[in-house]
Structure 1
Amino acid sequence: MTDRTHPSGAPWRNFYGRFKGKTLRPSQDEYLTDLDHVGLAGVGWADNPERTPLDLDALTGGRPLWLEIGFGSGEHLVHQAQSNPGTVFIGCEPFINGVATCLGKIRDTGLENIRIHPGDARDLFDVLPEESVARAFLLYPDPWPKARHHRRRFVTQEHLAPLHGVLAQGATFRVATDIPDYVRQTLQEVPRAGFRWTSRRAADWRQPWGDWLSTRYEQKALREGRVPHYLSFERL
């Protein structure tokens, strides 16, 4: 991030991922209309230029708040929301095709404890109250395999420092990846941002969490011989 700003006053944040892929099917376009009631209001700079923090009571009604950063097509997000009906979930995903697919899953399941931010997680960090999130997930993020692109990964201080700010003391931060070098960078950078790696033995990071749902991406990684790592951190 630099000191430059957009005309709206938003900070100039480089974004390196995709916002849209193949042309959406008519059904996906129709799912996107659900953002009118599932979408998280007050995050975008256009409707909240003062960056007023979100009203946590209105959002959660006193329930715990969990966050998934980059939910893909929403498989894990929907699974967790079904398994934890007393928890409110925010899912961040800038890739609109994935957002549409996730909205279709939410409609099919009738879940009412998910809110979607179809954009950059950094904009959400601006407006989440401090220490408001009890658990966060970063699952199979874009690996950016070339060394010169490692600064684009989520596990840099530009992302981790504000994440630390919105997580409650003692909150859990889970990272899953099948890229060995991403594991290295995660174990190097996340503790620097104020987290403690909680693994005590190899099985802690080799075996998935007890409430884990193996996604289609993970199944592909396993078929191709890549080894998933399941890293858990505690916010200090």
Structure 2
Amino acid sequence: MSQKSRPRRNFYGRLKGKSLKRSQKAYLDEDLGALSPGPVSWEVNPDRIPLDLPGLFGGKPVWLEIGFGGGEHMVHQASNNPEVGLIGAEPYINGVAMLLGKIRRAGVDNLAVHPGDARDLFDVLPENTIDRAFLLYPDPWPKARHHRRRFVTSEHLQPLAKTLKPGAIFRVATDIEDYVRQTLEEVPKHGFEWLAERPHDWRQPWDDWISTRYEQKALREGRTPHYLTFRKR
């Protein structure tokens, strides 16, 4: 296969925060390699060969979390759904280290971790293979001139839609009203239907929800969470 040219992609978020604890550095050194979903980076997979998801998870249904933050939701879902394999993408290395610590403590083994941009992961996820996707409290990019950086744009939604199976569920949680507006405008354009039938459906969290630290911060600061559920047509 001929090598594909790497697309030009700007990344605007944080890659690293305050200094990592010694234990977190150990998690990264000792655990991260074994939890890789496969050859995702352009350096080791320049031809963008698709990942072998059946080989990775033994044929289990596969869920995807985009930007898992500190990892509490991802570990919660993995613990409560051992019959499912989960892949998480997160470029913020401090969040990755936090997730690895939670994985150790929970003892779950049905996860894979991509410590990088979800767009690179989309390049190598086979089409129509993901059963469920989560986008939970994404970076709001509040300034109007930065709205094009939000996840709910064609640059992200188009490849996401390709990876999801028909009928797959896409959950979005956010406390930013304008992000809700943009989500409801943009997501249906990419082959999704919004499943809400009444206000309760977006005002109340999902039955299997665990409140994340980002949500708790939003509640302390007086912002209202919204829980949006879409299905791929």
SS in 1 for 2:180: helix
Distance apart, 1:9 and its partner CA: 3.7
Aligned to 2:23: 27
Q: 1:172-191, CA deviations, whole angstroms, 9 ceiling, x for partnerless residues?
A: 00000000000000000000
The answer to whether the Cα contact below 8 Å between 2:37 and 2:51 also exists between their aligned partners in 1 is no
Partner of 2:53: 56
Identity of aligned residues (%): 67
- Classify the secondary structure of the residue corresponding to 2:216: helix
Provide the TM-score with structure 2 as the length reference.
Answer: 0.97
Alpha-carbon deviation of 1:56? Answer: 2.0
**How far did residue 44 of structure 1 move?**
0.6
Deviations 1:87-139 (A, max 9, x none): 00001000000000100110111110010000000111111110100000000
Between the aligned partners of 2:137 and 2:151, the Cα distance in structure 1 is 11
* Structure 2 portions without partners, runs of 5+: none
Check if 1:225 corresponds to 2:196: no
CA distance, structure 1, for counterparts of residue 38 and residue 32 of structure 2: 9
Paired residues in the alignment total: 230
Residue matched to 1:94: 91
* 2:13 aligned residue (13, 17, 21): 17
- Structure 1 letter corresponding to 2:54: D
Q: 1:151 aligns with which of 148, 153, 157?
A: 148
1:25 offset after TM fit, Å?
A: 1.2
* CA-based RMSD: 1.2
**Cα shift at 1:41:** 2.0
Q: Residue deviations 1:58-101, cap 9 Å, x none? A: 11211000000000010100000001001000010000000001
CA shift for structure 1 position 197:
0.3
4+ aligned runs moved over 6 Å, structure 1: none
Query: Quick check: 40-49 or 96-105, which moved more?
Result: 40-49
Partner of residue 65 from structure 2, selected from 45, 64, 68:
68
5 Å-filtered alignment, 1:162-201, equals 162-201=159-198
Distance 1:215 1:128 in 2: 27
2:125 is aligned with 1:115: no
Amino acid aligned to 2:12: Y
- The separation in 1 between residues aligned to 2:46 and 2:132, in whole angstroms, is 27
> In the alignment, residue 29 of structure 1 is paired with which amino acid?
K
* Structure 2: distance between partners of 1:29 and 1:155: 32
Q: Quote the Cα distance in structure 2 between the aligned partners of 1:12 and 1:72.
A: 25
What SS class does the counterpart of residue 126 from structure 1 fall into?
helix
Letter in 2 for 1:154: F
Q: Structure 1: where are the runs of 5+ without partners?
A: 1-7
